[in-house]
A and B are shown apart, each in its own frame.
Chain A
Amino acid sequence: MIRLGLDQEQIARLRKLAKEIVHGVAPIIKRNTTVSVERAIVRLMGLDGIDNDGVPLPNVVVEAVRPRLGDGVARHVAAAMLSTGMDINQLGTAVANREVDILSFPEPPEDELEDFWTEQTSFTMERIAERVKERNEYMKEYPPGPQPWKYVIVATGNIYEDVTQARAPALKGADIIAVIRSTGQSLLDFVPYGATTEGFGGTYATQENFRIMRRALDEVMKETGRYIRLVNYASGLCMPEIVVMGAFERLDMMLNDSMYGILFRDINPVRTFIDQFFSRMIDAVADIIINTGEDNYLTTSDAVEAAHTVLASDLINEAFGLAAGLKPQHLGLGHAFEMNPDIEDGFLMELAQALMLREIFPDHPLKYMPPTKHMTGNVFKGYIMNALFNLVGVWSHQGIQLLGMLTEALHTPYLHDRFLALQNAGYVFNNARHISDAFLVNPDGPIMDRVRTVMDDTEEFLKKVNDSGLLDAISNGWFADISRSPEGGKGLDGVSEKSPAYINPYIRSFAAYLGREEELEKWM
């Protein structure tokens, strides 16, 4: 493995700055809750299903509690369940049918409540632990392929068609299958229900769709002898709920960025910071690898000029993730091969960035995104760009290599586009497997010059962000040249200040499981 010999003291300073930056928003996260966190709580309790109008029961229940959301849905659900003897799904149905007023039940005695939550949370923890155990056993019996893991996307809109599109590449070497969501799902303030066959630019993330794809990939696993990881997207307005669904259906990875929704989907910053925190606690308990979306910075900003914002955001995502209980091996921090191909020595700058991130984040399964912005209808040139991207990937030991499609920017991938992408990556990875053992980086050469520039720019940038505070930095447009205000964006009406009576029983059980009671006390 190449050692660039980076300045370890500088790396420590960068981490410290990132930690201070994220701790700056801890009080606002602790002070408030959101409708999506509350819906995730009832989902964790086992609530699922829809009412006669197709509204998901978690929405029905949380809407019914809305006037007193600051108490937390848990308080009212517990009172109702203890008074009526109903289970959570009976209660959800009764609320939907207007048979009960969920706010009308007396506060149960403290000890009864204590027992109730012990039982509820251990039911949930067992359900998740069961999935974790299952994954570990499968991975032992059917070991996954070596890194960089080859990650491909399916996006037909029809879950059954997705299965066909996923099985073929999985049989041909793909290690990870991601099902892209339907355009616009990130802005839905509910999670659609059931198997779906209609979507635009992707397939709705529903628990049933998760189940269908999981089953299909487990079959391929048995055919090929390799565990195939499944990914979906927990970004947008329902972040924590989707992670709950993923935890229950043994998804292995979730797109779960701390700032992506704010910047690129105009979701309210406060809402997002709260939602990402709780969702990442669930990821940590369910042993799910998160992927972050730094590649998106480079679609709006220039990849050469904005390289330091990628490192800065990786450090911020890391700091938020560690605070929520994730470990380095869960942090699939993002970056991308997005420089203009016409630049002289562009390949060296890409390699510099990738080697730098590898050394700063040594235990993290970095997620490397392929060229998209500069892909054209010239599929032949695009195929070469993807080959260079793969070469950087194997050279710098990336964890997750999202394979570039030669038809990027033209249409959703055809079956053979994915096959050609796998062949490209398979060829380059195998042919250059030990390239990093063969070369040293010249300490006075162009790669190290570039690395030093990016690290210095990052340090300066993080200092500036720390001085102003993260929320102000975002509203100043310092990330991705996009400005978002804490008072603006979608989903702000779903944020409520907690009342003194607030409870979220899962915080305590998750914190205990993760051994982080003290740290998490500052956040939730």
Chain B
Amino acid sequence: MDVDLRNVRPYGDTMGDGAVQMSFTLPIPQGSVAREAARQLVLSMGFTDAQVVHDEDIGEGFTFFVVYGKTAASVDSTKIIPTEPEFEVWEREECNRRIQEYFGRPLVVVGACIGEDAHTVGIDAIMNMKGYHGHYGLERYSMIEAHNLGAQIPPEELLERARELGADAILVSQVVTQRDSHVLNLTRMIELVEAAGIRDRVVMVAGGPRIDNALAQELGYDVGFGKESYAEHVASFIIQELHRRMDDGRWTP
């Protein structure tokens, strides 16, 4: 297969055809005007060959469309800097062994879903004994002392508990993203940690289905984990980050 990595386009059935499938709703009643409006809208997005393959009245004067179009746009994939965190993923036993070897004591990890957000599903998946999808949670790691505070924890309380427990890492989960509440909460948390003067002592980890590493780093976290992340990813990153800080003389166990 001959792919031009400097000019990558969507693929339908022919290299470079730029085929895109999309669906959306317009707030106008179904009919020929609506169909033409959908077509013109897609053309104005820069697509060519816009084909409205389906339109349907979905009530209250709204119309739903399925449209195909072709785009001439392309990306140079060779210029993209990866946003995924770079670290090696170790299995649970390997994590335990490395903690013993590097630090000689268990690591303390404190986590919560902060603010009004009532979803424990993310933090539970990473921290609870049972874990998620067959990946055991941090509570099952013999060299990690895991404290899951649950959901709806004010950032102030998470900080206070982390200090009491002598946390080496703080996990901050956010599931709800409506009105950017996750950004506000994550920012508030990092500001508190910095104001308390303990930023160098703890690894700050953000997580949630709509969180990615780039956003987390932009907000001042060490790393962000989105979907398809499990306890071993989080544990491996924390160990490697602390080990790095230890080597630089910025952190002692």
B121: chain A residues at CB < 8 Å are 299-300, 373
| 8 Å CB contact of A409 from B56, B64, B178, B209 | B209
Do A183 and B59 contact each other (CB < 8 Å), given the known contacts A200-B176, A301-B130? no
Within B182-235, the residues touching A (CB, 8 Å) are: 209, 227
- What is the bound-complex CA distance between A268 and B39, given in angstroms? 56
Q: Are A168 and B58 touching (Cβ within 8 A)?
A: yes
**Least distance between A55 CB and chain B CB atoms (Å):** 20
| 8 Å CB contact of B62 from A168, A182, A264, A377 | A168
**Binary per-residue interface labels of chain B (127-139) against chain A in the complex, 1 for a CB within 8 Å, 0 otherwise:** 0111001000000
B116 within 8 Å of A by Cβ?
yes
What number of A-B contacts does a CB cutoff of 8 Å give? Answer: 70
A287 within 8 Å of B by Cβ?
no
B128: chain A residues at CB < 8 Å are 300, 481
Q: Are A415 and B181 touching (Cβ within 8 A)?
A: no
Q: Are A376 and B116 touching (Cβ within 8 A)?
A: no
Within B9-59, the residues touching A (CB, 8 Å) are: 23-25, 56, 58-59
B83 within 8 Å of A by Cβ?
no
B117 within 8 Å of A by Cβ?
yes
Q: Are B58 and A186 touching (Cβ within 8 A)?
A: no
A167: chain B residues at CB < 8 Å are 59-60
A201: chain B residues at CB < 8 Å are 176, 178
Within A137-179, the residues touching B (CB, 8 Å) are: 157, 164, 167-172
- What is the bound-complex CA distance between A203 and B10, given in angstroms? 39
| 8 Å CB contact of B25 from A170, A264, A300, A415 | A415
Q: Are A300 and B116 touching (Cβ within 8 A)?
A: no
Interface SS majority for chain A: loop
Q: Which residue of B lies closest to A490 (CB)?
A: B152
B118 within 8 Å of A by Cβ?
yes
A135: chain B residues at CB < 8 Å are none
A412 within 8 Å of B by Cβ?
yes
B85 within 8 Å of A by Cβ?
no
Do A200 and B181 contact each other (CB < 8 Å), given the known contacts A183-B117, A300-B124? yes
Q: Which residue of A lies closest to B61 (CB)?
A: A168
- B interface residues, how many (CB within 8 angstroms): 28
Within A281-328, the residues touching B (CB, 8 Å) are: 299-302
Q: Which residue of B lies closest to A174 (CB)?
A: B59
- What is the bound-complex CA distance between A359 and B160, given in angstroms? 51
Q: Which residue of B lies closest to A167 (CB)?
A: B60
B179 within 8 Å of A by Cβ?
yes
- What is the bound-complex CA distance between A265 and B56, given in angstroms? 41
- What is the bound-complex CA distance between A169 and B150, given in angstroms? 35
Within A259-285, the residues touching B (CB, 8 Å) are: 264-266
Q: Are B59 and A168 touching (Cβ within 8 A)?
A: yes
**Least distance between A437 CB and chain B CB atoms (Å):** 32
A184 within 8 Å of B by Cβ?
yes
Q: Are A157 and B23 touching (Cβ within 8 A)?
A: no
B60: chain A residues at CB < 8 Å are 164, 167-168, 171
- What is the bound-complex CA distance between A232 and B242, given in angstroms? 48
Q: Are A172 and B58 touching (Cβ within 8 A)?
A: yes
- What is the bound-complex CA distance between A412 and B179, given in angstroms? 12
Q: Which residue of B lies closest to A155 (CB)?
A: B178
- What is the bound-complex CA distance between A168 and B209, given in angstroms? 29
- A selection of 29 A-B contacts at a CB cut-off of 8 Å is A157-B178, A157-B179, A167-B60, A168-B62, A171-B59, A172-B59, A182-B116, A184-B116, A187-B118, A187-B152, A200-B116, A200-B176, A200-B179, A201-B176, A265-B118, A300-B120, A300-B121, A300-B124, A300-B130, A302-B130, A340-B133, A411-B177, A415-B25, A416-B23, A416-B24, A419-B59, A419-B64, A481-B128, A481-B130
**In the complex, the 10 A-B pairs of residues with the closest C-beta atoms, listed nearest first:** A168-B59, A184-B116, A419-B58, A171-B59, A168-B60, A416-B64, A416-B25, A172-B59, A201-B176, A183-B116
